[in-house]
């Protein structure tokens, strides 16, 4: 059969305000958090996140790892029973900086195939594939200032259609700001890149064109392209050193996104002898009544076995209507 392409143009008159565009971005998985420690603090650790967990939150923190090489694995039970797995590895090269590699994968399970003719299911199933692979470079410019850049390569496949793209994150951290011990600032811009568009044989439809002398043919539906969910974030943390190596810190982040309402993130952490940590956070969007996230809590334990550091972290995030998120992380440093 002949293969053609049919493009239909339509004029739309619609409000394109930031709040009304929530949920319309490409690659929404870029906004799914990873790492239990930072999530337990509500994602408010932009200024102080460190090591391989920082690759997602602020790539500038990768070079602030306490060990030369680190590895992290985390698993989250996300919305609608979606599983989010994350693996990251980072290592420092003296005189060059720190390189990191990360992989985020979503698991949806088997979804029944339905059609217009068989809405109850054909008996077949499919499982979407959403994978993001990242490469990060971070450098400790001075004892106080670090910078970082991440390139994320995005792949999405749903049945017989797919899309791919690239997104960039960049960040800066400044510790001891204004010569105040314990005061840190952070800035990050995330998910900067071209729009994404689905394509593939799943968009082919058989049809006849009026006023054209040709039999029914397959035509390709041209899917609309969508913007990435780009954000700019500003963060501050103030840490207080208590007696006997205990610490108490408070942090906050303001986030502006191109396709959603502004978000505010707050967090507090108490650390006992750099071994046991208790954390809490809260996030909200001032202009949105439909914001579903809120309270976060968690805890973590650090073990030091000779030259090997092992961390175990857990976080709970309350979610309206859709059930809570649970995330577990295991980290290794040597």
What is the per-residue DSSP string for 142-176? SSSEEEEEEEEEEEEEETTEEEEEEEEEEEEEEES
Predicted confidence at residue 214, as pLDDT, reads: 79
**Cβ contacts of residue 210 below 8 Å, gap of 6+?**
none
Angle at 320 between CA 315 and CA 323, to 5 degrees: 60
- Distance from C-alpha of 65 to C-alpha of 70, rounded to nearest angstrom: 8
pLDDT in tens, the chain (334 residues): 343 333 333 333 333 335 556 667 899 999 999 999 999 999 999 999 999 999 999 999 999 998 999 999 999 999 988 999 999 999 999 999 999 999 999 999 999 988 888 999 888 999 999 999 999 999 999 999 999 999 999 999 998 999 999 999 999 999 999 889 999 999 999 999 999 999 999 888 888 888 777 788 888 889 999 999 999 999 999 999 987 789 999 999 999 999 888 999 999 999 999 899 999 999 999 766 678 999 999 999 999 888 899 999 999 999 998 889 999 999 999 9
- Distance from C-alpha of 315 to C-alpha of 325, rounded to nearest angstrom: 8
Number of helical H runs and strand E runs in the chain:
2, 21
> What tokens does 36 get?
């239990």
List of domains in the chain = 18-333 (2.40.160.60)
Query: pTM of the prediction?
Result: 0.88
Predicted confidence at residue 163, as pLDDT, reads: 96
CA quadruple 234, 29, 317, 270: dihedral sign: negative
CB 105 within 8 A of CB 153: no
Predicted confidence at residue 18, as pLDDT, reads: 53
In Å, the largest CA–CA distance within the chain is 87
- Distance from C-alpha of 175 to C-alpha of 153, rounded to nearest angstrom: 30
- Distance from C-alpha of 35 to C-alpha of 87, rounded to nearest angstrom: 10
Predicted confidence at residue 200, as pLDDT, reads: 93
């Amino acid at each position: 059969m002949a293969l053609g392409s049919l493009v239909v143009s339509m004029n739309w008159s619609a409000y394109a305000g930031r709040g009304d565009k929530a949920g319309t971005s490409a690659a929404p998985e870029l906004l799914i958090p990873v790492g239990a420690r930072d999530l337990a603090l509500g994602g408010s650790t932009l200024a102080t996140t460190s090591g391989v967990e920082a690759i997602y939150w602020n790539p500038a923190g990768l070079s602030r790892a306490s060990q030369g090489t680190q590895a992290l694995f985390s698993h989250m039970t996300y919305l609608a029973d979606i599983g989010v797995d994350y693996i990251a590895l980072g290592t420092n090269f003296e005189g060059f900086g720190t390189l990191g590699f990360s992989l985020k994968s979503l698991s949806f399970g088997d979804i029944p195939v339905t059609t217009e003719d068989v809405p109850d299911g054909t008996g077949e199933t499919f499982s979407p594939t959403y994978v993001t692979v990242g490469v990060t470079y971070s450098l400790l410019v001075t004892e106080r200032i670090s910078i970082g850049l991440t390139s994320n390569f995005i792949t999405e496949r749903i049945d017989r259609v797919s899309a791919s793209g690239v997104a960039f994150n960049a960040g800066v951290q400044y510790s001891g700001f204004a010569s105040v011990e314990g005061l840190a600032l952070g800035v990050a811009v995330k998910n900067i890149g071209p729009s994404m568009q689905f394509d593939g044989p799943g968009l082919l439809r058989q049809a006849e064109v009026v006023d054209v002398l040709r039999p029914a043919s397959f035509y390709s539906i041209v899917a609309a392209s969508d913007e990435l969910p780009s954000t700019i974030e500003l963060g501050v943390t103030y840490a207080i050193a208590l007696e006997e190596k205990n610490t108490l810190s408070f942090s906050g982040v303001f986030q502006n996104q191109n396709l959603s309402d502004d978000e505010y993130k707050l967090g507090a952490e108490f650390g006992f002898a750099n071994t046991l940590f208790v954390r809490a956070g809260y996030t909200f969007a001032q202009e949105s009544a439909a914001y579903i996230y809120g309270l976060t809590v968690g805890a973590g334990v650090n073990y030091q076995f000779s030259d090997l550091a092992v961390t175990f972290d857990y976080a709970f995030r309350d979610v309206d209507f859709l059930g809570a998120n649970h995330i577990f992380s295991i980290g290794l440093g040597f």
